[in-house]
Chains A and B, each alone.
Chain A
Amino acid sequence: MIQADSIDKSYTLPGLKIPVLKNVSLEVGEGEFIAIMGPSGTGKSTLLNLLGCLDSIDGGRYVLDNEAISEMDDAALAAVRNRKLGFVFQSTSFIDYLDLPDNVAMPGFYCGMSRAERRQRATDLLQRVGLEHRLTHLPGQLSGGESQRVAIARALFNRPRLLLADEPTGNLDSRNSAEIVNILAQLNAEGLTIVLITHDREVAGAADRIYFMQDGVLGRRFDD
C-alpha cells in the first residue's frame, strides 16, 4: 500500500533551512495497522501529511497504492486524497455552519455525488459510529468523543484504502479513547489499512507494528 523510499523534507524560513524528515523509508502492506510514536516536534505529523498527499516531498520517492505520488499535480493529488485517503486529526476540524451529515459528506461533494445520495450515505455512516441521534446537530454541539467519531465517519465516506489518524485520541479521556481505538481496530479487521500517530502506548498497542520517530529519523521499536 505504502512504499516510501528515502524521503527528505525540510521547511525553509527566510535564510534558514530546517530539515524535518531525514531519509525516511516506510513500507506498509495492504490491511496493515501501524502506529508511529515519538516526542512532539520530531516530524510525525509531517510524515503523515506527506503520506496523505497534503504536502510535497523534497527528496526520495513515494508510491501509494501503486501510484507515484511524488510526480502528481494538484488536481491528481486532490483526487487521490478524495478517493483513496481518509483523515482523522487530533483537533477536531469541521465546518461549523454545516450540520453533521453535510460535514461527513464533504468528500462526496468533491467527487460529484448528488446531495440526496451524500446525505443518505452520511446518515448511514453516522449510524455506524453510533450518532444516529445527532443528525441535525452542528459540530459545535458535540463532545470530544462524539467529534472524533464524526471525523471517522467523514474519513470513511468515500470508502478509502488508507486511513491516516494524527493523534485521534489526544484530547480524549481513557474511556472515549478506548472507544475510538475499538472502532479503528474493527475497521482494520474489515481490511482497512491504517497509519496512526499517537503518544499513548496503550493506543499504539492496537497496531500490528509500532515505529518510533526521533529528530526526523524513523525506526522500528523492538522493545514491545
Chain B
Amino acid sequence: MISLNFVRYILPAFDMWKIKPLQAILSMAGIAIGIAGFVVVVAMGQGARQEFTRAVGVLGTNTVIVNSTSEDGLPQLNSAMLFSLQRLMGHELSAMAPVLHKYANAYINRKQQRVHLVGTNAIYREVFSLALASGRFLAPYDVHRRQRVAVLGRDAALALFSTTRATGRTLRLGKNWYTVIGVLATDELPALKLSSLQTADSGKSVYIPLTVMTPKAVNDLEFSQLLLKFTEDVRITAAIPLLHRIFGASRFKQQELEMIVPYELLIKKKQFQHMLELFLLGISTIILAVGVAGVLNVMLVSVNSRRSEIGLRRAVGATRIDILQQFMVEGVILAVIGGSIGLLAGWGMGVMVANWFELPVEFDLQAILAGFVISLLAGLISAIYPALKAARLNPVEALRS
C-alpha cells in the first residue's frame, strides 16, 4: 500500500515552491555543492586508479631504471656493468635495455624538425610494453649490424610525415639517412610522465639502434640509462643492495647515478592521490551535512507555517502516513534536485580539475549513481524529522493554529 503511494505526492510537492522559492533554492545549494564535491572526488579517485592500472600495465611491478645524473652530462653507464649484471643476476633478470638520449634535427624534404632520439636495443620495447601501429621495432641484428633504421613514436610520425603510415619512408637525422621500419601505436605513456623518470614522452621520440648513435664497439658502449626488468618472483627491495654494489655504491652517493623503481613511485603517487581524495571527501561531507541541515531547517519552517494545512488535510481524510509521505517527498525532491544540479556542477569541476591540474579524472556511471543515491539519502535524512513532526501533529491542535 505505502510502497508506490508516494508517487502522487511528487507533483503537488512543487506547488509549495510558489510561496517560498528562495528558501527552496538556498537549501538546495548546500546539497548541490556537497554532491558536486563528492562527484569530483569519486571521479578523481576513479581516474587515479585507472592511470595507476595503466601505468603498472606498461611498466610492470618489477622494473628498475638506473639513470646517470652526473653534472657533466657524460654517460656514466657502460657495457662492463651489463656483463656484471648478466653474471651476478642473470637468472633474476628478464630484460635489460641500455639507452642513450640525444636531441637531433630531422629533415624531410626541406622540412627540419627537432626530435628526441632514443638509442637503444630490441629489449626496450619489452620493458615498456610498447605496441606498434605498423611495421616492427628494432631487432637484435639492427643493433649488431648498426643498421640505420628508425622507429617513430606516433606523434613524431605525425609531426614529420603528417601521417602514422610512415613505415618504409626515409628521413635524415643529422647527416645520415634512416629507413623508418615501424610506428608506435601509443600516443603517450602515462607512467613515463612521472617527473623523475628521465624518459621522454615515448610518443614524440624516434628510436634508433644504440650502436648507430655511438661509434663505440659493442662491448665498450657507454649509455645514460639502463632499464632492467626482473622476473615476477624477484622481490625488488631485496635485489637493490646487490644492484648498488654492481654499479658502485659510492656513485649513487655522489649523485652520479640514481636508481628508480617506477612501481614504488606509482604507489607513492597513488597514496598522495588517496590522501587528496580523503581530504576532499571530508570537505564534501561537511558541506553536505550543512546542506542537510539547510533542508532540515526549510522543512521544519515549512511544517510549522503549514500547521493549519496539516490539520485541514487530516480533517478531510489524510492519515498520519499520508502527511508523512507528503513532507518526505517534498524534502527528498529538494535534495534530489539539489543533488542533480550538484552532479552537473561536479562534472564541470572535474573537467576543470583535469585541465588545470592535469590530474586524471574519470566519470563513470558509478560516480553518477553514487551522487544520486547520496542526495536521495540526504533528502531522506533531512526530511524524516520534520515529516514525523508533521505526521504526529494532533489534527485539532493543528486546525486551531
Query: A-side interface residues toward B, CB under 8 Å?
Result: 49, 52, 54-55, 74-75, 78-79, 81-83, 87, 89, 93-98, 106-107, 109-111, 154, 157-158
Contacts and interface: CB of A to CB of B under 8 A. Distances in A.
A186 B311 CA distance: 28
Contact of A106 (B19, B312, B399): B312
Contacts of A157: 316
Given A93-B312, A95-B309, A107 B19 contact: no
Contacts of B319: 74-75, 78-79, 110
B315 A52 contact: yes
B394 A111 contact: no
30 contacts: A49-B396, A52-B315, A54-B395, A54-B399, A55-B394, A55-B395, A55-B396, A74-B319, A75-B319, A78-B314, A78-B318, A78-B320, A79-B319, A81-B315, A81-B317, A87-B315, A87-B316, A89-B399, A93-B308, A93-B312, A96-B19, A97-B19, A98-B15, A106-B313, A106-B316, A109-B8, A110-B317, A110-B318, A110-B319, A111-B317
A97 B18 contact: yes
B242 interface: no
Contact of B317 (A82, A89, A98): A82
B157 to A, nearest CB: 66
A69 B311 CA distance: 19
Nearest to A77: B319
Given A87-B316, A95-B309, A107-B316, A78 B322 contact: yes
Contacts of B18: 97
Interface of B: 8, 15-16, 18-19, 308-309, 311-322, 394-396, 399
Contacts of A74: 319-320
Contacts of A154: 316
Contacts of A97: 15-16, 18-19
Q: Which of B311, B315, B319 has the most CB of A within 10 A?
A: B315
B324 to A, nearest CB: 11
Contacts of A158: 317
Contacts of A107: 316-317
Nearest to A154: B316
B201 to A, nearest CB: 62
Nearest to B311: A93
Lowest 8 A-B CB distances belong to which pairs? A82-B317, A110-B317, A78-B319, A107-B316, A54-B395, A106-B316, A75-B319, A97-B15
Contacts of B395: 54-55
Contacts of B312: 93-95, 106
Q: Which of B19, B317, B318, B321 has the most CB of A within 10 A?
A: B317
Nearest to A49: B396
